[in-house]
Structures are given as structure tokens and as C-alpha cells.
Amino acid sequence: MSPTQWDLPPELCCRPMAFVALTGLDVVYNAVHRAIWDAFCANRRADRVPISFKVLPGDHEYPKCRTKRTSYEWYIPKGILKTGWMNKHLNLVPSLVVLFYELDWDDAQWKEKQSECATKVEIVRTSLQGRNTKVAVVLIQKKTPLPPGEDVVASERAAALCNACDLSGKSLFVLPHTDHLVGYIIRLENAFYEHAQTYYYNEIRRVKSHKEFLNKTTHQLLFVRHQFKTGFFSELKQDTQNALKHYRTAYSLVHELRAHETNMLEIKTLAGFINYKICRLCFQHNTPLDAIAQFRKHIDLCKKKIGSAELAFEHTAWMSKQFQSFGDLFDEAIKLGLTAIQTQNPGFYYQQAACYAQERKQQANQLCSHEPNVSYPTPDPVETASGALDFYGQRAWRQGHQSIDPPDPEKEKQGILALQLKEKDVPHSELIIALLSNAVAQFKKYKCPRMKSHLMVQMGEEYYHAKDYTKALKLLDYVMCDYRTERWWSLLTSILCTALKCSYLMGQVKDYITYSMELVGRASTLREDQKSRIEKNLIRVLMNEVPEAELDCDPGSVKAAQVLWTDRVSLGGSNEFTVEVQDYVPFIQCKAKFLSPSFHVDEPVQLHVYLRADCPHPVRFAKLCVSLSNQEYNQYCLVEEACKGKDILEASSQGNMCLVPGKTRKYCFKFVARTEDVGRKIEITSVDLMLGSENGRCVYLNWRGGGGDAASAQEALQASRSFKRRTRLPEQQVDWDAVSIQSSTMVISRVPRITVQLQHEPPALSNEMYCITVTVQSEEDTVAKDVTLTAGLKPGQDANLTQTTHVTLNSSEVCDDAHPALLTDIAVGDLQPGQKIEKKLYIRCVSTGSRIFLFHVSYAMSTTVEGKDITCRCHKDETVTIETVIPFEVAVKFVSTKFEHLDRVYVDVPFLLMMDILSASPWPVHLVSSELQLASSMAAVDQPQSQVEGVVLQTGECASECFSLKCPPVQNGTSTVAAGQYLISWKRKSVSAETPVVKTTVILPHIIVETIPLYVHAELPSFGRVRESLPVWYHIENRTGVVQDVDISVEPSDAFMFSGLKQVRMRILPGTEQEMVYNFYPLMAGYQNLPLLNINLLRFPNVSSQLLRRFLPTRIFIKPQGRNGDASIEAA
Amino acid sequence: MYVIICMHCFCPQNYPLYIRSVPSQSELKFHYTVHTSLDVVEEKISTVGKAMAEQRELYLGLLYPTEDYKVYGYVTNSKVKFVIVVDSSNTSLRDNEIRSMFRKLHNSFTDVMCNPFYNPGDPIQSKAFDSMVSAMMVQSS
């Protein structure tokens, strides 16, 4: 028996397909036949009918049909299912034999060919004697056939051929060998398929017909056999629903069989087969839950059917295989589109298969540990004459035997011995590992990381048992960190123990040390005595000696390992190891801390390193060194003592280099930081602890950063949460949990001892030269050298502020864009103790808003630290936020000579420009002067002169001035023109005389200028008097190039009588002026409205009289008649 | 024979706070079983989603069956996980009984947490908790 005895036979696992034999094809030498064969079998796609074709020679001998039994009365079956049966029906007994024959309807030798064909058919029929297999004939023809019915010769000859061959008309086919070969072939095979289905249908009926002859006492086996066969034929017929039904019946029947030790294997084997078929069909029908339920039922039923106790391993092997094949089926179904879930996936079945395989291995170890002198029995009891069994699941030495007791106890014994000896050679570990790795792949897919790790541990352990230590170590090392990060110490310890054994057996020094260190440490759950043993071994290794063997190791491997270790010891060199411990939980813990997060450069940097051992025995180390980011300091952070050979285990309370378990040791280091490192960070890059000695073997434990390992972060967190009162420890002793790591510190400059004061009057006014006085006073005991001042806008603010802020020391000139926003390193010189200096700084802010200004004073000092002279720079920063506001607001207005608001002005008509300067500054503003700079499109009526010169405006006060202007003619009637600009020179009232004045420019608004065709202005006295004649001249000016007709009328008024033209129409020549004289005679005193003058321009109807009226005064003040004013009346 | 094989309370970071199993040589195997069951627990918690978290039932039911054990899970609102492993052959324990066992366990755990001297995250070393678990194990044996 081969080791694959438990594998399911391939004919069981394949998908059964109807078997059709093709004869009469010469596929080797005949190209046409070859092409036909290829069309049948090459590239069969899924949509073609499920047939398996085979080419057989015409005189092929088919398996002989046994003579049919007429009665079952005296028949006792010898087993359930014959081993050859499935194969016979899949590959040997065809459902249809097709004879290919080259014959055209108009063949010259038709008669001869017809009889030759008939002979061939007869040969096939003879060979199939007793079977229901039908024969069909296919005529290969060169010519394309005519449509049916048209070829009379053809139908005649076809009938004749059928007759000669004893064929029904349905079994004769014509295959024209033309272009559409594949199409013809597909039609042919569909016809074959129908024949095949009929054949299998008949077979099923034949098997079923036996049933009535069977009785339940002697023919139990046959019930199972017949149901299985019916199921199988149904599958061949592609009737999977019925197949499933029959298999299910077969399954329940197989468990009804009387089971005893001798036939247990046979029953289980068949149950396994049928179960496989059922599960397979359930998956195929897309009812996976049915498959799972069936499998569970199967396992529950068979779990306890162990059979012979001496061959218990057979049962576990069989169980393992059941799970494995179900896993395979499940996996296959998934590949075809089924979705599995986390809790129901093939992985579980592979895992269970592995589990049984492990059990099998144990049982094999127990049952097959024969004395070496027990030899394999001869003749071989498991060998049969044919080389194979007749029935599935039977014993070779008693085939066909069905009674309860074995026929020959001696033979039985021999057979069992033979099986046991064979089991010994089975590569159990290989099987287990293969199953486990299958399971790992599945669990990886279904998001079960922990299950995956667990199985990998099992794989590693199995590799260890199989003595493949390299692979074992690789797997274990891979998963170890998962358990470490999840803090499952019990599991980690168990894995570490196996890993330690592997590394011992391979003589891997570094791994051995690493695992030992963790196993004696605090994460290990080993007992104290086990830890002690491992620690002693570790110390041996550190002293370059051979460690004691690990417990429970294979003696042969131990011997080999001892040789390896002896070689390692004698071999010099490469005896230095560095273990990066932060990924482990080593037996020595380390915490390093700087005493403060920052140190001034004039004080020494202090660093403490705390060490603590968790192992059972004290440990002595050779060297402790701290590496810092600036390596120059490393020399100050080193503890070293020549390790003296043997005394490594002695616990000397005085020994500086000895760690007593459970006690925290502190090492203090101190150094002076270099002045170049001011402003830089000093970091602990690593802490190294050297164990062993340099001339023997030494191990560096390397902690990255300031110590800590895989477990310490969580411990620190727990400790920080704890309410437990820390017990007061005596001097020199430290509570480990109270120490926290501080792995970096800053070197900062010395504390300055100077004062910086600022004097100024906020807020700043925009554009002014804002003055800030900086006063620096030294409070140092010695002279402060190289005092420099950096002042101005603090960097890092809005970029626009940099452009709109200018700083200077020079008060005499207004600074412009060329000046920087920050003046750096203004040398101030040396400062004697107590001395005070002042600097004035002028700032010009062009835009408003708040700004932060920085005043940075730095100087150098000489001082002594720890007996070392150093020169250090100190600096003091002072910042101030200054708001900038506008000093005043300027409002500009255009008004008419009547102080009416104007939205446009008229050519050559005078108007007024009004300026209002409203102070917004909290400080008084002194207006030095103002100036009007007119654009060319404006002209002053007289010489403009500043009216606000020398005015001082308090907060909220307003200064106004006014200029009379006129616009020269413009082209094309209307246009918008610039008015020019207005310049105000001013400064703060409080500043000194030499401070330059600030010039603020106000751009005057644009105004629309319009040409009018007619201009009217009146000439009249400034007041009138009641009953005194008031002469008024109206000047009407034609400003166009054409003659104008003007209607003029004067409306009557209650307040005046008047003389002059009341209504007139006149013509005014281009460019000339017409004068109208009226004599008004006021009747009432006070402000009186003048009689309205209506002017209508006939040519320019859009120029209304209202518009023109705006140029004329509307009213006049009339004084009352004086007492002695009669004379004047008379005079009038 | 005892039925409850192990009991675990996990703190949210998944390391064991309390493990108790029937004295047996295959203790390690139970530890592995419980550890692997966390895969299912985490998956169940994460699939519930945040919105549902408030009305989520604490009892997770049967996590997964193996040939030998049934593993049940329970997660408190603060993500402390309880796991009970029962022998597969024990059919006397119904779902309801398991549920009430978890509830008892939860109550007892709450009592432990209420102890001002207990530091959350430390292994549980409470006599009351111990005796409650022992009683439960005896009861269901």
C-alpha cells in the first residue's frame, strides 16, 4: 500500500461524463480523420455536451459482460463496491460506439463497401455482447449532401445500408468533410449525447430491477451498492438531482450495515466516498449549507467508529483525509464563485485535518514503536495477486470475507504488523505541515491573523519535530512579535522555549542569547528554577563555554549540537554580538533620562541611566555607554571596569558593575555642553550595555533612544494610572516605575541679566516717522561685550507688512521703500556693569493695522562652569504690538458758487473746491501747510493760497479750506477730467522741530465737465432796500457757433415790481452776449425770491430753463426802509 | 468533569486580565483557542459599525465551533471582552445559560473595576471574582 492509500480515487473525484467510443478513425496517418478527431476533442468549451470521447480500434475488445444472474437466492456478496467498477463505466464500457466509415452515396464500389461496413459493425457488436451499448455509423463523405428528399439515390442507399448493418435510421449519420466541420461535429455529438442518455437511463432501470430479488438479511451490501451505482449512472446521465437523491439513500444505507472490527474500514471508506459525492453535488447545486450539514453529520456518525485499536492511526488518517477533501471541495467551490465567511471557511477543515494528522502521528508513535528486531512479515500480507484489492476498503489478506471474526488469527496478526510497520515510514510531519500551510493560506484570506499565527506556531513546532530547525526558527521568529505586542506572555513563553531549543540544536549563538534573555526576563512565565537553569546556560555562553542541553530534545540532535557548540567555542573571532533589545522584553531593563528638558549653557548637563535586572541571579556587566547625538559627549557617559573572568556571578554589594535582581541601579553622568550647541537638541541615540568580556565572548544590549523595550510602554502607562502609594525608599534607591525616560534635552543660552525698556507714544500714525526709544541697562557683574541690537518688524508676520514697514535710526529724513523692515545687529559696543544706553528708532508704517515689533539685544559673557572657562552669548527679546491709524481724513467736495453740491461742472463757469480735514489721531496734529496742485484741465480763478497753514488739530477737530476754480473748454461737449492733487504737510504736535514733516497726498476726484450752449449770469447788488430801485443786469451769452433764438420771459412776483421787457424773443449771434436790464422795485423786506427768469432755447430744447436758472441768484436780501431814508427814495 | 474551560477578560488592547481554566495538561491549547477567538470578536465588533454600537447586544453568541470546544464571546461597552470555552460534548448548557453566565461575569467585573485600589489594566486578583468564577465552574460541571 502506498502512503496515498487514504487519497480518494481519481475516478471518484472527477465529474462523470458519458463515455462514447469512436472507431474506424485513423488519427495517426489520415489527415481527414485527424481533423475530425480534433474537432471532437480539442478546445471543448463548457457549452458543449459533457461527453468523454476515446478513439478505439475497430476490433477493440470491450470488457466482457458477466452472465446475468437469474436468482440472488444463494448469492452472498463479498463486498460493497468493486474497485474497478467506476473506472469501468467511465473509461472502458462505452455508452455508444460510433463507427466512422468513408463512403459517398455515388461510390463506384457501393456494394462492396456496404458489406465491408456491415462486417465492421458486426465485429463491434460481437465485442459488446451482452451490453446495452448501441452502435452508430457515421459515413465520412467528400461531397456536400443535397437537402433531404432531393437525392433519391442517397435515401435508397441509406435504407439499404441500415438494413445491411441492422441499424435503425436514427443511428446512421453522414459527415460531409467540408468547410463547416466543427458545426457538423457539434450536431453529431448532440445526437450521440441523446443515445448515451438513453443508454444510461436503461442502465439505471437495469440496476433498479435487481431490487426485487434482494432480501434484507443477506443482501444488505447490495442495497448500498445498487444505490451507489444508480447515483453514479445518474451522474453520467447528468441528472445530478436524482444522483444526489440516490447517494443520500446509499449514505443512510451504509450506516445501517452491521459494523464490526473486520468491516469497519470498508464501511468508513464507502461512507467517505458517498459523503464526498453528496458534498460535491451540494456545492455544485449551490447549496453549501447542505454540504456543510452533510459533512457534519458524516463526521458525527463516523467519529467514534475507530475500528481496531491496534490500527487506531488508520482512523485518524481517514478522519484527516475527510476534512482535507471537504476543505478542497469547499475551496474549489469558492474559486467558482461561492463566498465564504470568517467563521466558515475551508481553513477550519484544513486545520482540523492537520489536527487529526497530528493525532495520527502520536498514535503511530505509540503503536508502531516496535523493537528493531521485529521484521516485516513474509509473504507480504498486504500484497495481493493482482496488485490491487477487489473491493474498496477491505484487507488484502482476507478479501471478500464478511463474517464478524477474522478467518485466520495468525494472518490477521501478521497483517496488522505489516500495516504498523508501513505506518512508521509515513512522513507525518510533512503531511501535517502541508495541511497547516493550506489552513494558514485560508485564514490569511478570511481575516484571522491570530488563527494564522497560531497555525504558524504549530507549523514551526512540527518543523522542530521533523528536525528542520532552520525553518522552525524562521516561522517562530516571524510570529513571536505578534504575541509580544498582544502581551500574551504564556503563549510567548511557550514559543520562546521551542525557539531556544532550535537555536541550541543549531548552535546559533546570537539567537540562543536573544531567546534566553527574554526567557529569564519579566515577560516569561517560566518557573524560577527553569529561569535559573537558562540563566546559568546564558552565563556559560557569555563566558564562551558550551551550554547544557535543553530539556526534551532529541538525543541524536543533542550530540550533534554539542559538537557544534564545541566548534564555536574553539573558533575565535566573530564573538561580538549586538542585540537590539527594544523589540524584545530582555532581562535587563534600562531607562535613561536627562534631569531636565533643557539646560543653560553655563550649567552642566546631567544624565541618569537606570538599570534593573529581572533574572533570578545577579548579573555583572563589563561596560555601560551612552551614545548621544553629538558624539563628542560620549566619552563622558561611559562606565567601564575590566571584567574579571569567573566572578561574573558573584553578588558583591559594592560592585558598581553588578545588577542585583529587583534592585534599581542608577548611574549618573555629567558634562559641560559646548557653546556651539546652544539652541540645539542633545538626544540619546542609544544605550549599550556590554555583557561578557572582550577577549571571550561579548554581547552588547543595545537600546535605541533612552531605553525601554517591547513591554515598557504599557508598564509605564499602568504605573502612571496606578493609585498605589509609592513606598518611600531609602536613600540611593529608586522606585523603578517612578522613573520616566527623557531622551533629549535642549541646550539653551545663559539667562540674560539686562533690562530692555521701550518708550513710545502709541498708536503710530500712518506715514509718520514713529519714534521708539530703546533703553538697555546692564545688571551683569562683569562687562557685557559686543552688545548688538536687532530691532524692527518681527519676522514671520504677514508678508505685506514687511513691504509697508520701514525702519531707520536716522531721524532727519523720511524713509522710503529702500529701508528694511528689520535692522539687524546694530552694534552698540560694550556695556559696563550698571551702564545704560539709549537708542532711538524711527518706524514708518505706510499702511494701517497692528504690527509686532521685536527688540533683540544680545551680548557675550565670559563665565566659568565646573572649572571650565566658557564664553557664552546671552540675549533678551522684547516685543511690542503697535497699532497704526490714519492721522486725519480728507473730504473733497465740488460746489457751485452758491455752495450747492455739483455732480458736474460747466465750461468756463466758476465753481468751488472744498476740503475738510478731520483729525482722527489721538494726538494733536500740526498742519504745516497745504498745497493744491491742479491738473491742466482745471484753472484757479485767482491765486490759490493755503488757508490752514499752522493749524493744530485736536482729536475730532476739523479744518476746512476752499478754492475757486474754473474749467477751460473741453472737446466734444462732455468729458470726465482729473482735478489734480492736494498735498498736506503735517507732523505730530509733540515731536521736536528737526523731525521731518510728513507729506500726505490726497488725489482729488474726477469730475464731469460739460459745455453749455448758453450761459446766463446776473449782475446785481448784494442787497436791496424796500422801495428803492434795484437794477439787475442779466448777461446772456451764446457759446455756440450758431445764431440762437431765445425766448425770455419774467414771471411776476409779489415782492417786486419791475420794469424791463416782460417777454421777448431775440436772436443772439455766435459768441456774443446780450444784456438785459431790469429795474426791480422791492416791496417787502427780508430774504425775497427774485422774479423768475424763464429762458427757452428753441434750438436746444434739452437745455431747460431750470438748468440755466441755477447760474442765477434766486433771492436777495431786502433791507427795510430807513427812517431817514426818504432822501434816498427821492434820489431814486 | 468541568464544563467551562477558560474565562478571559481582555482589556481593550487584548492582553489577558484574567485566565482561569480547569486544571489540565493542555492549558496552553486553551490559551491558543481563546487567543484565536479574538479574531472573530474583533470582526464582529467592527462590522457592527459605529451607529449601531449603542444598541449593540453585548453577548456575541457562539463565536466558532471547533471539533472539541464551543467558544462564546461577550463584549462590554468599554470593549472588555469575555470568552467562555465549553466542551463540545456538553449539550446541557443552553444559549440562555451561557448568556446569564456572561452577565454574572460582567457584574462581577464591574465590581472589580469599582474598587478604587484596582488599577484598570492590571491583572485581576480579586477573591470575590475568583470565587464567583469557581462557583460558576462548579455549577456548570
Range A200-209 average pLDDT: 91
In chain A, count H helices and then E strands: 24, 47
- Asked whether residue A169 carries a pLDDT value surpassing 50, the answer given is yes
Dist. CA A837–CA A774, nearest whole Å = 8
SS3 label, residue A278: helix
| Among A343, A488, A721, beta carbon nearest to B15 | A488
Residue numbers in A near B70 (CB within 8 A): none
Bridge partner residues of B84 (DSSP): B7, B72
Chain B's closest residue to A344, CA to CA, is B64
CB contact (8 A) between residue B28 and residue A717: no
Most B CBs within 10 Å, among A295, A442, A490, A715, to test the B interface: A490
> By C-alpha distance, which of A423, A194, A186, A448 is closest to A343?
A448
In terms of CA atoms, which chain A residue is nearest residue B44?
A342
**Is A884 part of the contact surface with chain B (CB cutoff 8 Å)?**
no
**Which residues of chain B have a CB within 8 Å of the CB of A460?**
none
Q: CB within 8 A of B1, min separation 6: which ones?
A: B22, B87, B141
Which positions in chain B touch A449 (Cβ < 8 Å)? Answer: 39
Residue in chain A closest to B71 (alpha carbons) equals: A343
Question: According to the model, what pLDDT value does residue A3 have?
Answer: 44
Q: How many CB atoms lie within 10 A of CB A1027?
A: 19
The reply to whether residue B14 touches residue A718, judged by beta carbons under 8 angstroms, is no
- Measured between CA atoms, the residue of chain B closest to residue A457 is B32
pLDDT at A4: 65
pLDDT tens track for A1032-1081:
888 888 888 888 888 888 888 888 888 888 888 888 888 888 888 888 88
Q: Which of residues 492-511 of A touch B (CB under 8 A)?
A: 494
Instruction: Give the residue-averaged pLDDT of B67-81.
Output: 84
Average pLDDT, integer, range A77-94 = 89
A806 in contact with B, Cβ within 8 Å: no
Instruction: Quickly state the pLDDT bin for A726 (edges 50, 70, 90).
Output: low
Judged by a CB distance cut-off of 8 A, whether residue A450 touches chain B is yes
Q: What is the pLDDT of residue A299?
A: 93
Q: Which residues of A touch B43 (CB under 8 A)?
A: 342, 447
C-alpha cell of residue A436? 497547516
Among A99-113, A709-723, A920-934, name the one with the lowest average pLDDT.
A709-723
Question: Residue A1132 above 50 pLDDT?
Answer: no
Q: What's residue A307's pLDDT? A: 84
Query: Nearest CA to A380 among A395, A393, A390, A394?
Result: A395
State the pLDDT at residue A325: 94
Best of A296, A343, A358 to disrupt the B interface (most B CBs within 10 Å) is A343
Percent of chain A residues topping a pLDDT of 90: 24
Phi, psi angle pair for B81, to nearest 5°: -105, 135
In this prediction, residue A811 carries a pLDDT of 77
Contact A1132, A1040 (CB under 8 A): no
Q: State residue A202's pLDDT score.
A: 92
Please tell me the distance in Å from A200's CA to the nearest CA on chain B.
41
**CB-neighbour burial class of residue A513 (10 A; exposed 0-12, middle 13-18, buried 19+):** buried
Q: Between chains, do B64 and A352 touch, taking CB under 8 Å as contact?
A: no
pLDDT at A252: 93
Residue A478 scores a pLDDT above 80: yes
**Is residue A470 scored above 50 in pLDDT?**
yes
The structure's pTM equals 0.73
pLDDT of A786 above 90: no
**DSSP-derived secondary structure for A743-799:** -EEEEEPBPP-EEEEEE--SSEETTSEEEEEEEEEE--SSPEEEEEEEEEEPTTS-H
Distance from CA of B64 to the nearest CA of A (A): 6
Check residue A552 and give its pLDDT. Answer: 83
Instruction: Report the residue from A348, A457, A722 with minimal CB separation from B119.
Output: A722
Q: Is the ipTM of this complex over 0.85?
A: yes
- pLDDT at position A648: 38
Q: At what angle do helices A469-486 and A489-506 cross, to 10 degrees?
A: 160
pLDDT of residue A645: 41
Which pLDDT score, from 0 to 100, does residue A474 have? 93
Listed by number, the residues of chain A in 329-348 with a beta carbon closer than 8 Å to a beta carbon of chain B are 342-343, 348
Q: How close is the nearest chain B Cα to the Cα of A97, in Å? A: 50
Look at residue B3 and tell me whether its pLDDT is greater than 50: no
Q: Do B35 and A454 touch (CB under 8 A)?
A: yes
pLDDT > 70 in chain A, percent? 96
pLDDT in tens, A753-774: 899 999 888 888 888 888 889 9
Residue A1 confidence (pLDDT): 35
Which residues in chain B have Cβ-Cβ distances shorter than 8 Å to A454? 32, 35-36
pLDDT of residue A1058: 86
Provide the pLDDT confidence category of residue A730 given band limits of 50, 70 and 90.
low
pLDDT for the residue A814: 74
Q: What pLDDT, on the 0 to 100 scale, is given for residue A685?
A: 92
Average the pLDDT over each of A80-89, A181-190, A714-723, A780-789 and give the range with the smallest value: A714-723
Q: Which residue has the cell 496742485?
A: A933
What pLDDT shows up at residue A358?
93
Report for A24-33, A354-363, A383-392, A944-953: range of highest mean pLDDT: A354-363
User: Domains of chain A by range and CATH?
Assistant: 4-211 (3.40.50), 258-447 (no CATH), 575-748 (2.70.50), 754-864 (2.60.40.10), 888-1010 (2.60.40.10), 1014-1131 (2.60.40.10)
State the cell numbers at A493. 513563553
B66 to chain A: which residues are within 8 Å by CB? Answer: 348, 352
Interface mutation target, options A436, A448, A455, A714, chain B, most CBs of B under 10 Å: A448
Q: What pLDDT does B51 receive? A: 53
Which of A:354-393 have CB within 8 Å of B? 355
B-facing residues of A in 599-618 (CB < 8 A) are none
Within 13 Å, how many C-alpha atoms sit on residue A545's CB side? 11
Interface probe, candidates A342, A492, A737, chain B, greatest B C-beta count within 10 A: A342
Helix (H) or strand (E) holding A1131: helix A1126-1131
Considering only the beta carbons, identify the residue of A299, A487, A718 that sits closest to B119: A718
pLDDT of A782: 85
**pLDDT for res A999:** 86
* Residues A768 and A988 sit within 8 Å (Cβ to Cβ): yes
Q: Which of B14, B28, B40 lies closest to A486 in CB terms? A: B14
Q: Mean pLDDT score of chain A, rounded to an integer? A: 86
Q: How confident is the model at residue A646 (pLDDT cuts 50, 70, 90)?
A: very low
pLDDT of A742 over the 80 cut: yes
Q: Is A539 helix (H, G, I), strand (E, B) or coil?
A: helix
Residues A437, A327 contacting (CB under 8 angstroms): no
Selection from A68-82, A258-272, A365-379 with the highest mean pLDDT: A258-272
Total CB pairs under 8 A between chain A and B = 65
Asked if pLDDT for residue A260 goes beyond 90, the answer is: no
Q: What are the residue boundaries of the structural domains of chain B, listed by start?
A: 4-139
pLDDT band at A650 (very low <50, low <70, confident <90, very high): very low
Angle, helices A489-506/A555-570, rounded to nearest 10 degrees: 70
Q: What CATH number was assigned to the domain covering residues B4-139? A: 3.30.450.70
Residues of B with CB under 8 A from a CB of A: 13-16, 19, 28, 31-32, 35-36, 38-40, 43, 63-64, 66-67, 116-117, 119-122
Smallest Cβ–Cβ distance between B117 and the set A451, A488, A723 belongs to: A723
Q: pLDDT for A672-683, tens place per residue?
A: 888 888 889 999
Residue B141: pLDDT over 70: no
Alpha-carbon span B81 to B102, nearest angstrom: 10
| Alpha helix ranges (H) inside A507-636 | 509-519, 528-542, 555-570
Confidence of residue A1123 (pLDDT cuts 50, 70, 90): low
**A324 CB-side CA count, 13 A:** 22
pLDDT in tens, A410-458: 888 888 888 888 888 889 999 999 999 999 999 999 888 999 999 999 9
Choice between A527 and A652, residue whose per-residue pLDDT is larger: A527
Instruction: Please give the backbone phi and psi of residue A896, each rounded to the nearest 5 degrees, phi first.
Output: -80, 175
Residues A349-377: tens digit of each pLDDT: 999 999 999 999 999 988 888 888 888 88
The grid cell for B39 is 479574531
Say what the pLDDT of residue A708 is: 84
Estimate to the nearest angstrom the gap between the alpha carbon of A147 and the chain centroid: 69
Note the pLDDT tens digit of each residue in B82-126: 888 888 777 777 888 889 888 988 899 889 889 888 887 888 888
| A444 interfaces chain B, CB cutoff of 8 Å | no
When computed from its CA atoms, the radius of gyration of chain B, rounded to whole angstroms, is: 14
Query: Could you tell me the three cell numbers for A738?
Result: 517612578
Which region among A33-42, A631-640, A812-821, A958-967 has the lowest average model confidence (pLDDT)? A812-821
